Chain A
């Protein structure tokens, strides 16, 4: 170990309004290593790196780079100090050529145009050296996502860097492209560069890193050498939560099958296969959990079930009737409730009032509407009733839902979905971003629903949540279901292995 770290981050804090993105992060990166930052969505990885590359300014704390304290006002400052970042969302102008993208904002227009040949030569040289296959005269929008990413990486190399930060680079890549990228990272390190690799995919991180730091809730919770850990341990560090809840299991055996999924496959919005032939049943009076590191197809599975994403192959049967490929209105009408993963995108309309948000699906149905006109009084009464029953902290039913805390917003979503008297409830991330009080409340509410005979599918990345309320747990990995386990904490290791895609130990069906 060298005595002076290449990059030292000391007790960095950053808040965005009420959200604490970095809660006193400390981290050391050594020269010439591949250092992976592992963590769930929202753990604070991207924000931390954005502060290092000058996109975001920290509220508190120090960044010491090559022995000097630094404070970057913009990414350009950071590039001047030879720090470059490739973002999850590419920062390229689609209708310009690769070379034109590289020289944007560099020097005066005249000198740049006269130097264009030199720019092209430099790009070709770098492209050959790292086998990047980037043509300087290609128009960016004609390139595939993988190619565009190589263009982004070469852009950073073109400007000259010592520290390269890659933010979830493999999320958009095919497996072959991923292999290629991991090789490139090793090549860069051989050339004396340092790489920070942000990911939540355990296998990739294990393959390529020297050291791994695990982030959770805006902090670095562990830093380990890759030889001294394994995928199972990392999975536990990533998702570990200290809340322990013991909630009663349903003593009754589950009833008939309510939802049956057969060999379901679908692609993500970018066209990459996300769910690859998944089959399972959910019975009345049971909660089936789906565990997994996020990004393994859970999002697409829930969107496909609820009609928001087209199904490629397979069948979804609800109460004996096929609902595959129906639109969300038709699915909603068949006793199907959905508590969505992304509350702000799908679950609620932020500027609208609590009342308006409670009738999102039933705005044209009795008793909320008659003759095409809304029944303001009935809607208000219904909303007040839900607010009371679910203890939603709010001023009144006319308050915009944006004014509520995340936990109270979620309570209203849960209240709305349960009030629709569903036979089947699809839940994706029941407790994400909500406080402990609200968490316990919504979990108990789910148990009540189970006891009253509803079938519940709970997709979650929070193992504690799954252990607390599920009757059995399926593990999803790379778009498939890898195994099934009973919710038994003593078998956490087995679960961690499955989550990491390791099927060596046979998983007995629970």
Chain B
């Protein structure tokens, strides 16, 4: 017994001595692993391209830096970053609560539908009223759509992984139905809705660019959600529920209510992203308004380590890669599939490094 006590004492002492370096190394591990993940993935991508007879390093360079040509192209990157940051930051909240919402894509579409309805059916409002109303409609619709999965989870213990994926299909097919049927603009050749009235459009940030104020909203909300998770009572409860639901119940927290709040926040963020796509970019609802932002948002949150503040950076990175791959398609012979493969490698690498980070944190 005495030996054990001695051992414990020594452990405590050594813990205290190494406290500072310990904290430092943990922070370094947290910050460096995502960067390492991306670098390793790009190296793999370059090797893969070389095997296929391309100049790997050149192509990867274009992919990363090719899109930084002028103000316009930077604007396009930020335009793509907007939905990714919104969705990624929202998913950070759900994932922190251990809710695996895979349905951001569907929530985005439902948000886009609601935004279109509000943006086409009302006329004569000031832009100060109508544009925010469209955003609010998108956010509420996204929250409600996610709330369905949340309700099924707390009421029937239905796995949200399954239900959110199912709801994705429903939302996509619903959109197709609406733009080919009831909401179709009869004068157009392609299936699309009528155009939103001008007052409903999301104001542009710079007159000549497509970039709209959505990027600012995304940044503010990402910071807001970071503060919410870190500093608010509700955010604390969400984290406790996510880490240990038994302890949450013991402490008197309402697990079901916290689960609903977390999933609805992530749904609202995705719905808002959908509203911005319609009101800020396309002005109309189409069948394929999202090129998979809802799914890429999962990778954004993952790379950010479920930290909404870091989701700003990882959202920016994924937007850059996406723009870069578009540049590649125009300027080189690299087939689009290979570009997609490289994006896939980035995501796999992020997952692998996230696991490695957890291991290193325990060791450190």
Contacts and interface: CB of A to CB of B under 8 A. Distances in A.
B205 interface: no
Interface string B206-247: 000000000000000000000000011110110110011011
Nearest to A20: B4
Given A363-B237, A369-B233, A395-B16, A345 B251 contact: no
A395 B247 contact: no
Interface string A377-420: 00000000000000001011000000101000000000000000
Main DSSP-derived SS at the A contact region: loop
A17 to B, nearest CB: 11
A345 B247 contact: yes
B129 interface: no
Nearest to A360: B251
A363 B236 CA distance: 8
Contacts of B240: 349, 352, 356, 360, 363
A374 B237 CA distance: 11
A350 interface: yes
B204 interface: no
A66 to B, nearest CB: 37
A374 B251 CA distance: 17
A314 interface: no
B302 to A, nearest CB: 18
Interface string B8-36: 10011001100100000000000000000
Interface string B309-320: 000000000000
Interface in A356-377: 356, 359-361, 363-364, 369, 372-374, 376
Contacts of B254: 327, 329
A328 B244 contact: no
B247 A374 contact: no
Contacts of A349: 240, 243-244, 247
A306 B249 CA distance: 10
A350 B361 CA distance: 14
Nearest to B362: A402
B12 A393 contact: yes
Nearest to A396: B19
A359 B15 CA distance: 24
A211 B244 CA distance: 42
A267 to B, nearest CB: 18
Interface in B248-269: 249-254
B5 interface: yes
B246 A346 contact: yes
Given A352-B240, A435-B5, A436-B1, A373 B247 contact: no
Given A373-B232, A436-B1, A332 B8 contact: no
A38 interface: no
Main DSSP-derived SS at the B contact region: helix
A169 to B, nearest CB: 26
B8 A351 contact: no
A361 B12 CA distance: 28
B247 A328 contact: no
A356 B252 contact: no
A94 B252 CA distance: 34
A13 interface: no
Contacts of B236: 356, 359, 363, 374
Contacts of B4: 435
A363 B245 CA distance: 15
Interface residues of A, number: 38
A372 B247 contact: no
Contact of A374 (B1, B15, B231, B252): B231
Given A349-B240, A352-B240, A363-B237, A374 B232 contact: yes
Nearest to B252: A329
A351 B362 CA distance: 11
A349 B237 CA distance: 11
A364 B237 contact: yes
Contacts of A436: 1, 5
B233 A372 contact: yes
A5 to B, nearest CB: 31
B31 to A, nearest CB: 18
A395 B15 contact: yes
Contact of B252 (A332, A340, A350, A403): A332
A437 interface: yes
Interface size class of B (residues with CB under 8 A): 20 to 34
Interface string A105-147: 0000000000000000000000000000000000000000000
Central interface residue in A328, A338, A351, by most chain B CB within 10 Å: A328
A308 interface: yes
Contacts of A289: none
Given A328-B251, A361-B251, A374-B233, A345 B15 contact: no
A285 interface: no
Contacts of A360: 240, 247, 250-251
Interface in A316-352: 327-333, 338, 340, 345-352
Given A360-B240, A363-B236, A435-B8, A376 B231 contact: yes
Contacts of A363: 233, 236-237, 240, 251
A349 B249 CA distance: 12
Nearest to B20: A395
A446 B17 CA distance: 33
A363 to B, nearest CB: 5
A331 B251 CA distance: 10
A345 B246 CA distance: 6
Contacts of B249: 308, 328, 346
A376 B240 CA distance: 17
Central interface residue in A340, A346, A350, A403, by most chain B CB within 10 Å: A346
A373 B251 contact: no
B233 A364 contact: yes
A329 B239 contact: no
Contacts of B8: 405, 435
A277 B362 CA distance: 46
Contact of A308 (B1, B16, B250): B250
A359 B240 CA distance: 11
A405 B5 CA distance: 11
A308 B255 CA distance: 12
Nearest to A365: B233
B243 A351 contact: yes
A356 B231 CA distance: 11
A306 B15 contact: no
Nearest to A342: B246
Nearest to B26: A400
B305 to A, nearest CB: 13
Interface in B274-292: none
A329 B12 CA distance: 35
Which 9 residue pairs of A and B lie closest in terms of their CB atoms, listed nearest first?
A329-B252, A364-B233, A346-B250, A360-B251, A328-B252, A369-B233, A332-B252, A349-B244, A361-B251
Given A308-B250, A363-B233, A435-B8, 4 more contacts: A328-B249, A332-B252, A349-B243, A361-B251
11 contacts: A306-B250, A346-B249, A347-B247, A352-B243, A360-B247, A360-B250, A361-B252, A363-B237, A369-B233, A373-B231, A405-B11
